[in-house]
Amino acid sequence: MAEIQESKESLQESLQQVIALLHKHKLVEGLVHRQDMPNQPLVETIVHRQNLAELQKKLDELHPADVAYILEALPLEERLEVWDLVKAERDGDILLEVSDAVRQTLIADMDSEELLAAAEQLDTDELADLAHDLPKDVLQDLLESLDAGNRERLQSALSYPEDAVGALMDFDIVTIREDISLEVALRYLRRIGNLPDHTDKLFVVDRHDVLHGVLPLKRIVVSDPELGVDEVMADDAVVFHPEDKATDAAKAFERYDLVTAPVVDENNKLIGRLTVDTVMDFIREEAESDMLSLAGLSEDEDMFSSVWKAVQNRWTWLAVNLVTAFVASRVIGAFEGSIEKIVALAALMPIVAGIGGNSGNQTITMIVRGLALGQVASHNMKTLLKKEMGIALLNGLIWGSVLGVVAYLLYDNVALGVVMTAAMTMNLMLAAVMGVLIPLMMTKFGKDPAVGSSVLITAMTDSGGFFIFLGLASIVLL
Amino acid sequence: MAEIQESKESLQESLQQVIALLHKHKLVEGLVHRQDMPNQPLVETIVHRQNLAELQKKLDELHPADVAYILEALPLEERLEVWDLVKAERDGDILLEVSDAVRQTLIADMDSEELLAAAEQLDTDELADLAHDLPKDVLQDLLESLDAGNRERLQSALSYPEDAVGALMDFDIVTIREDISLEVALRYLRRIGNLPDHTDKLFVVDRHDVLHGVLPLKRIVVSDPELGVDEVMADDAVVFHPEDKATDAAKAFERYDLVTAPVVDENNKLIGRLTVDTVMDFIREEAESDMLSLAGLSEDEDMFSSVWKAVQNRWTWLAVNLVTAFVASRVIGAFEGSIEKIVALAALMPIVAGIGGNSGNQTITMIVRGLALGQVASHNMKTLLKKEMGIALLNGLIWGSVLGVVAYLLYDNVALGVVMTAAMTMNLMLAAVMGVLIPLMMTKFGKDPAVGSSVLITAMTDSGGFFIFLGLASIVLL
């Protein structure tokens, strides 16, 4: 009983062991080279082999998901060393478990033959998850190696966008007719002998594969075997269509606590099923991608991807940031005359801009989350704007006054203190309005509201903050 | 078949309908008041009643999760109007579905009697989820109303911290002995007649409730009924302990694709089970809380909470921000002499600080996510530091040079351009180092690495950026 439990608890330990073995291996290599012994090749080979054998044994004991975890946590060079040691027949399962970015590094390390061998161990729906990352010629070979039915399935799965139900569904469906008794159904199941993972229900179809209902295993085991399938089945199951959005499906899984659900075409013909494990992975990825997007990152960067790849990932939003920072700088440039006269302005202006930026980021994070949960839409925009502006006004008056007093004490200038308070309040209001409007506008124009929102709001509160503060100061103080 | 499917698709529509009914209702009220008709009470009452009846009917048709969704999406006043219309016997289920923040607003609107009535419809594990939000006297009454077994269960569930398996588990377990045949087991199940939600396996225990294995329903339906439970059961199931961390359990659910798993005490005695729907909710909440924490928000703020509550939620980190902004301002203050001589410095310094801030936020987001996934730990800190510093160096040299040229062109001063390039590069390096170290240090000291990280890194890159740029400029240019 405790077996897998222990492996779960010691996942970190496994990782440490793998790292230790890798390092020992390198250390030995290094020592041997340095001492330049006459019998070097022999010693090296023996110790080397011992180490590798131990490492390989360790890896063989681990669940594919655990090997994937270790691969994710290793820098590129060590990751590929470990990858070379993984038994070829496990390659496919492990490739499915790793993140997109890590998968690319592993696939880049394999030749066409190895890839084809790995792919051939997988089901059609698993292949569909992998296919996007495979080189074109391997994918072509793979398609040719499949029988007609599976080739058609794979091609149709590949035709759906990544965020559609069609791309997430699998084909491990067990179907049954409604005109038989449970007793007959049970005999049929015993003949099958083994049901696919996550099978919590059978799909009841007619001979044209049109879905008539679902028969939960739970009902089979508690019902009188004399009863007919049609008497026991549920005919109000939640069904999905392959073109449904995956986010909507995920919400339905959470809302109705589903384990599996049928996927049907426009004629209600059963074509696949959606399972909770796929949905759970999708939810995890979505939430992560929102968090990364806010900072202007795409999810394609793995923790140890090359510097060059990481630079490309972060480039776009840094470039946008460069332009916005330049604009902010020009706003200040326009007030150089005022700053020359009162140099205190230069020291105080970043406070106004900085607090506006942080406050705006708080607002935008709330709204992006609300949009993701479907709680925010244009109908409640006004309420949200009022709330955020109320918060900004309160914060602006309170903290603005504190800073106004500080500014007055530092520079012995009452008017400067008043300008500070007013500018803080106004910039926080600007941050509130933009924090609500930016994500809502992005959604309206069909963009992901999370992508780079943080960079945009900071741009507004920087330029805006400098303009408000320096402008007010120029009017009041000069 | 299509019934629930339609309700899923039209969730937004339901929300719109509820809002429309609420507004119509208010409009009528408003009209009647304004016209001040003699027979006002009568008209008001009739139209009012019609509207309310229609709204109530609409609400009764909806799944508790859908009513919860609508309550979340409504501003406080309208939320409470709708809440009053919900049938009392559904109160408990709906309270379970809403977020913590919204739940508090609903509970605040109910008297002790209503709360007790709502709570009495719930299972012990559901009560445990609610109990933290109930007023003390209601909780006391509730405990007294339970039988001894359930009272003990509730008290033990309440004794675990919110992020432990014990707080998430439920008690809907169906147990069976190993010394019977499947045939007998099936007869037993038919007597029970109905299995709890998510039952994908039975728990095989001895007469002391010690867990010996699990019997998946999948295996029951495909196996020969003559076989004994002990021959068919799996004895390598993943088990949890109530004090296990919920995050670890969630990772195990994802890794091993579980639907339910037994929870046992230190003597391997079965005490409850964990189900995938609870785990999925937990994952969703965790991911959200990370995203909100980065911006210095707690999850206790709902989208429409009062301005005052929201201000409190955001206050802490704004106050921290106020101090850090003040420090940055004092750094500039120390160089006022330099700025007086070269006013261009005032215009250029925010570029250095701002780009450093955004770049640092990118790094910190990557690291916080890596920590959450367990991919980042002290053993790979050096690799990550090297990578992030490499990115910073590259970005600093490239974008720093671009800005250096721009600064030279704007102010016709080569030395100023060189200072700009050098300062950009150094501040990006600072951002990289701090972006890796801040979350790792926070984890080391047992803090959540996401909380307020963004505010801290911005503080470093602001003060650091101003100091580096103005310091270099003072040395090189004056």
The per-residue pLDDT for range B442-452, each reduced to its tens digit, is 888 888 888 77
Query: Mean pLDDT across the stretch B346-355?
Result: 94
Q: Could you tell me if B149 and B189 lie in one domain?
A: no
Does one domain contain both A451 and A371? yes
Rounded CA-CA distance A422/A428 in Å is 10
Question: Is residue A369 located within the same domain as residue A338?
Answer: yes
| Domain match, B352 and B472 both | yes
Instruction: Judge whether A256 lies within some domain.
Output: yes
**Mean confidence (pLDDT) of chain B:** 86
User: What CATH number does residue B241 fall under?
Assistant: 3.10.580.10
Residue B348 is nearest to which of A220, A277, A329, comparing CB atoms? A329
Tokens 């303009």, located at residue: A467
Rounded to whole angstroms, the Cα distance separating B251 from B375 reads: 12
Q: What is the CATH number of the domain that holds B391?
A: 1.10.357.20
Average pLDDT over residues A425-442: 94
Q: How far is B317 from chain A (nearest CA, A)?
A: 9
Task: Note whether B316 and B262 are same-domain residues.
Answer: no
- Is residue A356 located within the same domain as residue A452? yes
pLDDT of residue B376: 81
Report pLDDT for B215: 95
Its domain, for residue A329, covers 307-477
DSSP track, A191-243: HH--PPTT--EEEEE-TT-BEEEEEEHHHHHHS-TTSBHHHHSBS----B-TT
pTM of the model: 0.79
CATH number of the domain where residue B12 is located: 1.25.60.10
CA distance B68 to B85: 13
* Top-confidence residue, A214 or B76: A214
Indicate whether B46 and B17 sit together in one domain. yes
Residues of chain B positioned with their CB less than 8 A from the CB of A361? 295, 454
Number of H helices, E strands in chain B: 23, 5
Q: How far apart are the first and last CA of chain B?
A: 80
Please measure the distance between the N-terminal and C-terminal CA atoms of chain A and give it in whole angstroms: 80
Q: Mind telling me how many Å the CA of B474 is from chain A's nearest CA?
A: 16
Residue B298 lies in a domain: no
B452 in any annotated domain: yes
Q: Is the pLDDT of residue B302 over 90?
A: no
Say how many C-beta atoms besides its own lie within 10 A of residue B412's C-beta.
9
List, as one string, the DSSP characters of A71-111.
HHTS-HHHHHHHHHHS-GGGHHHHHHHS-HHHHHHHHHTS-
Nearest neighbour of A190 by CB, restricted to B224, B237, B288:
B224
Does residue B17 belong to any structural domain of this protein?
Answer: yes
| Residue B194 and residue B151 share a domain | no
Distance from CA of B82 to the nearest CA of A (A): 16
Q: Which chain A residues are within 8 Å of B354, Cβ to Cβ? A: 321, 324-325, 328, 458, 462
Task: Name the most confidently modeled range: A104-118, A205-219, B356-370.
Answer: A205-219
- In chain B, the residue whose alpha carbon lies closest to the alpha carbon of A251 is B8
- Which H/E stretch holds residue A273? strand A270-275
Q: Is the pLDDT of residue A6 over 50?
A: no
pLDDT given at position B58? 85
Query: For residues A100 and B457, what is the distance between their CA atoms, to the nearest angstrom?
Result: 28
pLDDT in tens, A401-429: 999 999 999 999 999 999 999 999 999 99
Structural domain contains residue B285: no
Q: Is residue A290 part of a domain?
A: no
B chain contacts of residue A69, beta-carbon cutoff 8 Å: 255, 374-375
Lowest mean pLDDT segment, chosen from B336-340, B349-353, B372-376: B372-376
Distance, CA of A217 to CA of A223 (rounded, Å): 10
Domain termination residue (choose one: B160, B193, B227) = B160
A interface mutation test: which of B255, B332, B383 has the most A CBs within 10 A? B255
Mean pLDDT of A190-198: 89
Question: Are residue B179 and residue B325 in the same domain, yes or no?
Answer: no
Cβ of B369 and A288 within 8 Å? yes
Residue of A9, A329, A379 to mutate, testing the B interface (most B Cβ within 10 Å of its Cβ): A329
- Beta-carbon contacts below 8 Å between A and B: 391
Q: A251 and A343: one domain? A: no
| Confidence band of A8 (pLDDT split at 50, 70, 90) | very low
B304: phi then psi, degrees, rounded to nearest 5: -120, 25
Q: Which two tokens stand for residue B223?
A: 């196996």
Residue of B nearest to A342 (CA): B340
In tens, the pLDDT along B41-72 reads: 566 567 677 778 888 888 888 888 888 888 88
- Domain final position from A231, A255, A277: A277
Structural domain includes residue B300: no
ipTM of the complex, rounded to two decimals: 0.79
Do A102 and A206 belong together in one domain?
no
Would you say residue B106 lies in a domain? yes
User: Comparing A87 with B423, which gets the higher pLDDT?
Assistant: B423
**Looking at the 3D structure of chain B, how many domains does it have?**
3
Residue of A215, A232, A220, A222 lying closest to B189 (CA atoms): A222
Would you call B198 and A259 a contact, using CB atoms and an 8 Å cutoff? yes
Give yes or no: residues B156 and B221 share one domain. Answer: no
Please say if the pLDDT value at position B3 is more than 50.
no
Burial of B341 (0-12, 13-18, 19+ CB in 10 A): middle
Q: Which of A21-25, A247-251, B173-177 has the lowest mean pLDDT?
A: A21-25
Residue where a domain terminates, one of A231, A261, A277: A277
A317 touches chain B (CB under 8 A): yes
How far is it, in rounded angstroms, from Cα A336 to Cα A15?
Answer: 57
